[in-house]
Each structure stands twice: as C-alpha cells, then as structure tokens.
Chains A and B, each alone.
Chain A
Amino acid sequence: MIATAASNRRRQRIFLIAGAILAAYALLAPLTSLDAAQSANVPLLADKFWFQIATNIAMFIVMATAWNIIGGITGYAAFGNVAFFGIGAYTTGMLIAKAKWPFLLALPLAPVVAAAFAALVGLPLLRLRGHYFAVASLGVGVAVGELVQNIDYAGQPVFGGASGLFLPIFRIDNRGLFFFYLMSAAAALSIAVTWWMLRSRLGYGLIAIRENEEAASVLGVNTTAYKVAAFALAAALTGLAGGIFSQWNVFVNQDNVFPITYNIQMILMALLGGTGTVFGPATGAVLLYLLIQFLGGTLPISFDLPFVSSDARPIVAQVILGLLLVVVVIFVPRGVIDFFGGRTRLSVAYLRRSLRETSL
C-alpha cells in the first residue's frame, strides 16, 4: 500500500503537469492566429474554427461545472438550468438590443438577474426532494422559455417575441479571440468557485445536506439558506455564460438559448466527468463535446464507416454516440475523473468491478 501511495503521488504529479501543459496550449495556441503573430512568422497552431470549438467547450465547462454545484455537491438534481442560460442571454441581449447599452456594461447584469430569479424560484422549489425537485425545475426551464418568447404588452412582444433579438455585431479586431478568452475566463471562474466552495463552510454544509439533510439541519446548518445560495450561485455562473453567448452569437431566440437538450447535455458532462469534484464536470465537458464533434465528422481527425452510405452516415454517427454513452455509463459509473489523480487505473479488473458494483 505504501509503495503504491508513492507511485500514486508521482502519477498525480504527471497528470497535473500534463493538464497544465494542455491548458496552456489551449489558451495560447489561438494567439498564433493574430495577424501580428503571423507576420512575425509564428507557426499557426489554431485557426478560427478551433476557437469556435474551444469557446463552445468553455461554455459547456461553465454549464456543467455550475450544474455540479447544485446537482453534484448539493445533490439536488436540477433539470432546468438552461433557464438561467436563457435568462442571462436575454438580459444582456435586451440591454444591448433595446436599451443600447455597451456589451461590457450589460454583461455583469446577466449573472445578477439569473441569480435573483434562481433565489426567487429556489425558495419554493428547493423544499422538494429527489425526483420532485428534478421535475419541478424542468418545468421552470420549459415555462421560462415559453414566457420570454410569448409575453406581449399592448400588442407588442416585450422580449423580441418569436423573431428573437438581433444584437449589433461586436466591432473589435480578433472578435473570435476576444470571446474565446472571455468564455475561458468564465470557465476558470466557475472552476475556481467550485474549488473554493469545497474548502469552505458553504461547501461542507452543502455536502452535509447531500449526505443527510435532516442530520445537517440538526447540526445547525441553515439548509434553506445553503441550498438557495448554491442554486443562485449555479444560476449566476450559467447566466454569465448565457450573457457572453448572446453577444458572441449575435442572434438570440428561444431555440438558441433555451434548448431543452442543454439540460441533458450539461448533466451528461458532469456525470461523465465525475460529480462532486472540482475538475470532473470540466473534463466531462471537454470529452463529450469533442466526442460529439468527432462523430459528427467536424474534426480534422475523421473516420470512415464501412458499408455505410453517405446519406446514412450522420444517422449512424448518432447511433454510435448513443451506444458509447451506454457503454461508458455501464463501465465507468463514477465518471472518468476516477482515472486522473492516481486513485484508480483503467484496467479490465476495474471495468469488471464497476459492472459488478452497479449491476443487479
């Protein structure tokens, strides 16, 4: 045991260094696409498409990490977090498109409004447990999108209606790079918040609630305040991502910013990576997003499917995605984060143990 502890520490260090190098590459490579860099003959490491991908990954890192605060750490299976994304996007979008605010002034209000909304609906909702909370939060997610799209005042849509909001295109140099760093900053912030939380009173209280809410209450944790705080914090981060998205994407409507599939995707990412951990959801976001793009044939590294016509290829890709999810869930039920940090190793024995632990 002692020997393996030492080698585990070594492996942990290797993972940490590898992760740092990867993060540094991801953040610095896009700089090589600047005109100035290219005229100085810096070799191109990433093009505009790569920051589109990277910006999306950062966006999902924010959503999955934020979901982890309420769903993973607190143990409340929120199923409607996309409402906060949409509220953030619409807050910033409305301020820019209707009130003509500058983007950087409008952005900080996105998390504020999203958090306020979360606190408001959280008070009744967080009294529910388990499935009931999941379904009620799903309801909030669906209803908010519907209300935003359809509320009229004096015959005029209040929030742009079905036509949505068209924001003016943000006129700066290297726009793609700007939004990449902004979204990456939001991702870093959400990870930092989680890291801080797990070491704070708030985090301990939330974990206590997850493990046994009655006991936590007896021990003097103000469960309502703690839960609402966690919900609002998750909403603020998700809303921030929504706010950035609105100006980045230029066009905001219900289809774009309230997609029900995002609810599922962010949970999938958090579970895939490992819930309740600092880096798990982010890892899951990177892996799942790249997997989806890879199967969709969007990445430069592609693959050919034998016996599949070009018409059927995208459909078969979706089937494969589904099958992969099924296999991963069955064999890696604690998330892939298990393999990092040196606690476990991917081996046949591990897979068999996982299968035995969760099977009937």
Chain B
Amino acid sequence: MALRKLALLAVAAVAAFACGTTSAGPTTGSAIILGAPLGLTGSLTKESNLTLQGYNLWLDWINAQGGIVVNGVKHPVTLRYYDDTSSANQSAVLMQKLITEDKANFLLGPYGSAATATDAAIAEQNQIPMVEANGAAQAIFNQGYKYTFGVLSPANKYLQGVVDMAATLNPKPTTIALLSADDNFSLEVANAINDYAPGKGMNVVLFKKYKNGATNLTAEVQAAKAAKPDIVLNSGHLTEAIAINKAAKEQKLNAKIFAYSVGPSTPDFISALGSDANFVYDGSQWTPQVKYTPAFYLSESDYVAAYKAKYPGLGDPDYHVAESTAACLALQRAIENAGSLDPTKVRNALAALDVTVFFGQIKFDPRGINTYKPMVVEQIQNGVHHTVFPATVADAQPMYPTPNWDQR
C-alpha cells in the first residue's frame, strides 16, 4: 500500500518535472501570493484543517501545471497561512499581516461565520478580494461588501433539501421538531426551515434554541419526544449532532427522519456512533457521488482519488474540503478571466464568474454568495455515506422511514 503510494508520488513528481521543463508555452512570472488565517489550534482545529487540506489539494495541482496563466505568463502560487488559535480577533490581526507584510495578492477565507464576518470587513477596507468557503451566514453578504465572495450555498439552503425530499416520500411526514444552536449560522439554517416547511405542507411543532457547544441536550430531546414529530431536524455542529443522536436513542425519541445540518458528513460522526449513525440524513454542500461536468480541474472521481493519495487513511473528502478547493478554483478562473493581478479587475471578474467545476456551478448573486449551486441530501446507510436527493445526482434511495430504536 505504502509502496504503491510512493510509486504514485514518484510518477506525479516526474510528470510535474517534465511539464515544468519541456513545455515551450508561457514564460514564468512572479509568484501569486494567497493568504488565509486558519484555526490550527483551539476549538475549530478540525474544521480548519479540513479547509487547509482543500486549499493544499488545489495548490499542488496548480503548481504542477506551472501556475495560473495570466496573459500568457505562468504565475506559480504560494499560500501563506497562520494560526489564528480559533479566535476571530486574532484572525483580523493575521489578515492585516497577510495584506501588509506578506503582500498577499488575494485572500482565502478562514473557518467559521464569526471569523469570516470580521475578515470580510478587513478585505473590504483594503479592497482586496477574499474568496471564502466556510462562512455560510447570509448576514455577512447583506452588508453591501464588494470584495467578499462565498462559493458555498448560503445557510438558509442547508436543510431545505431535506424538507423537499421529505415531501416526496410516502407516507409523507407532516410534523417537524426543530432544534438549533444559537450561533448565527445555525439560526439562519433553522429560521429558514421555520419559514419554508409550511409551504411544503409540514408543520414545525417545536422550535427550540440551545446554547452553541452544549454537551447536555437531554432536555431538548425530551421536548422533541413530547412533540411526537415525524422529522427531527438539528441545526448545529458535529458535537451537538453526536450528543443529540446519543440522547435520542437513550430516551427513545423515534421519528421517521433524523436530519442534522452539520456533522454526519464527517467520518468522525460514523466512527463516534458506530451503527447508531445509520439512517441519519444531512444537508451537504457536496458529496463524492454528485456528477457535474467540470469546465476545468479534476472530475469528482479524480478529486476523490487525489485526496486519498495526498491524505491516506482519512476516507473520502467531506464537503468542507471540496468547498475550500472550490474557492481556489473560483479565484483561479477569475484571475485568468481578468488577465491581470489587479485586485479590482479580479474582483469584477469574480462578480461576473459563471463556471461549473467538480463542486457544481459557481456563480455569485449580487451580494457575493453562490445561490446557484444546489445542496444535496446525504444519508448514512450501513455505515456508508450515500447521496439520496435530488434524484438527478442520487446514488441510492432514501431508507425510509427510519426504524424505531428498538427495532434496529
């Protein structure tokens, strides 16, 4: 196994070397510097590392090509990143350093909505484009900022796919218990469902907020059980998703659908819960099963293979990785389209961008967020992630309804 990996690497290295030396094409220009603050220590370490993996995957690829082609000149790409210790305020300091001292040409986003909001203001003040992939709260994009672009679908779309899917199922579920953490991203997800579900013939019979990062959610689960819902939706993060799933089993909270906004898509969810993770749905920005026709870069299957070669033993890339790579791709294509490294020209090229890559369509609405790419619904079936909705990209049928806990 290790030997094969080594061989692969060797081949890749030779190929890259060959490309670099024999191509008689464009000449090599100055390096393009990209900057990103990331929470490499502290509470957001996991997600920030996934983000960095996504950036690095693209970085390897683009530099193997010799760099980004701007007006016939190839510019190799350097990524500068620093640890913001998962603090939004330190993220702001690092943004200023990246812009002023490292002379970053363009910026990539940090992880999380709070840091992204802070950094967006700095990008705006310095008029340097920031393409981000991990801050889905729409509040960031409602400020009229011109230099921040988000390649991911906004928060309000996260669980709508689950509701859409539920409307197609038989017997149709009609009641929803909605639990939500009290951070800005999670609340936007939950509020959107609260508004959206009645139009699909479903009633939200319970809507409860809990403290972001809460570890004891037994009372919430008890309230959900008392409401006897067909669907249990949680809008929160991985920690809370695991705590809720454990408590649901203990307290015999049964429902036809359990769907969590963030969490189940990561391999950690399955390894932490074992077979209890089965039947859980989540709204996902991307899955390895979706099929788009990429205009450039890798196909889905090549992307998954590239990820597994670079980060062996971690399973499939989850959507945090994919969306982070997509941010780089959006920036790359905008630079190529602008034919310039001028921040304002690239900003305008980003605003006009419309391209489909392995991640899906990337196109920004006037606020700068990608409202054009659909979200998909995943379900864990027998310990494996499957895409179950929309039918056009699905690789499996939803296993519906979820059996009661004592019948599994």
Contacts and interface: CB of A to CB of B under 8 A. Distances in A.
Interface of A: 47-49, 52-53, 56, 146, 149-150, 161-164, 166, 169, 175, 249-251, 253, 255-256, 259, 261, 293, 296-298, 300, 314-315, 317-318
B184 A253 contact: yes
Contacts of B200: none
A162 B184 contact: yes
A301 B361 CA distance: 43
A117 to B, nearest CB: 22
A99 B408 CA distance: 57
Nearest to B185: A162
B114 A298 contact: no
B143 interface: yes
Contacts of B183: 162
Given A47-B101, A163-B137, A259 B96 contact: no
Given A146-B211, A162-B187, A52 B125 contact: no
Contacts of A251: 117-118, 120-121
Binding site of A, secondary structure by majority: helix, strand, loop or mixed? helix
Given A49-B101, A298-B93, A314-B41, A163 B139 contact: yes
Interface of B: 40-41, 82-83, 85, 87-90, 92-94, 96-97, 99-101, 114, 117-118, 120-121, 124-125, 137, 139, 143, 182-184, 186-188, 209, 211
Given A253-B117, A298-B97, A169 B124 contact: yes
Nearest to A168: B143
Given A255-B88, A259-B87, A166 B143 contact: yes
5 contacts: A48-B99, A256-B89, A293-B93, A300-B101, A318-B85
Contacts of B182: 149-150, 162
Contacts of A52: 92-93, 96-97, 100
A169 B143 CA distance: 10
Given A48-B100, A49-B96, A169-B125, A255 B114 contact: yes
A296 B82 contact: yes
Given A49-B96, A146-B211, A296 B184 contact: no
Contacts of A314: 40-41, 82-83, 85
Nearest to B98: A49
A149 B99 CA distance: 31
B182 to A, nearest CB: 6
Contacts of A249: 89, 92, 118, 121
A256 B82 CA distance: 19
B118 A318 contact: no
Given A169-B125, A296-B82, A314-B83, A49 B184 contact: no
B10 to A, nearest CB: 21
A256 B88 contact: yes
Binding site of B, secondary structure by majority: helix, strand, loop or mixed? helix
Contacts of B40: 314-315
Contact of B100 (A47, A150, A163, A318): A47
Which interface residue of B40, B87, B188, B211 has the most chain A CB atoms within 10 A?
A: B40
A256 to B, nearest CB: 5
Contacts of A161: 184, 187
A249 B209 CA distance: 28
B83 A296 contact: yes
Contacts of B125: 169, 175, 250
A48 B99 CA distance: 9
A56 B83 CA distance: 17
Contacts of A56: 89, 93
A150 B209 CA distance: 10
Contacts of B96: 48-49, 52
B369 to A, nearest CB: 15
A55 B137 CA distance: 29
Nearest to B40: A314
Nearest to A300: B101
A106 B143 CA distance: 21
Nearest to B209: A150
A63 to B, nearest CB: 12
Contact of B114 (A166, A250, A256, A261): A256
A315 B83 CA distance: 9
Given A49-B100, A314-B40, A314-B41, A253 B93 contact: no
A150 B211 CA distance: 10
Which interface residue of A48, A52, A163, A261 has the most chain B CB atoms within 10 A?
A: A163
A183 to B, nearest CB: 13
Top 8 A-B pairs ranked by shortest CB distance?
A314-B83, A250-B121, A163-B139, A49-B100, A162-B184, A52-B96, A255-B114, A314-B40
A261 B101 contact: no
Contacts of B94: 298
Given A49-B100, A162-B183, A163-B184, A261 B87 contact: yes
Contacts of B92: 52, 249
Contacts of B114: 164, 253, 255-256
A259 B86 CA distance: 11
B117 A296 contact: no
Nearest to B139: A163
Given A49-B96, A251-B118, 17 more contacts: A48-B99, A52-B96, A53-B93, A161-B187, A162-B182, A162-B184, A163-B187, A249-B92, A251-B117, A251-B120, A253-B117, A256-B114, A261-B87, A293-B93, A296-B83, A297-B82, A314-B82
A298 B84 CA distance: 10
Nearest to B92: A249
Contacts of B99: 48-49
Contacts of A166: 117, 121, 139, 143
Nearest to B119: A251
Contact of A49 (B97, B117, B120, B139): B97
Nearest to A152: B209
Contacts of A169: 121, 124-125
Contacts of A48: 96, 99-100
Contacts of A162: 182-184, 186-187
B318 to A, nearest CB: 19
A49 B211 CA distance: 35
A49 B83 CA distance: 16
Contacts of B87: 259, 261
A57 B171 CA distance: 62
A259 B42 CA distance: 13
A255 B90 CA distance: 12
Which interface residue of A52, A162, A166, A256 has the most chain B CB atoms within 10 A?
A: A162
Nearest to B115: A255
Contact of B83 (A255, A256, A317): A317
Nearest to A293: B93
Nearest to A175: B125
A315 B117 contact: no
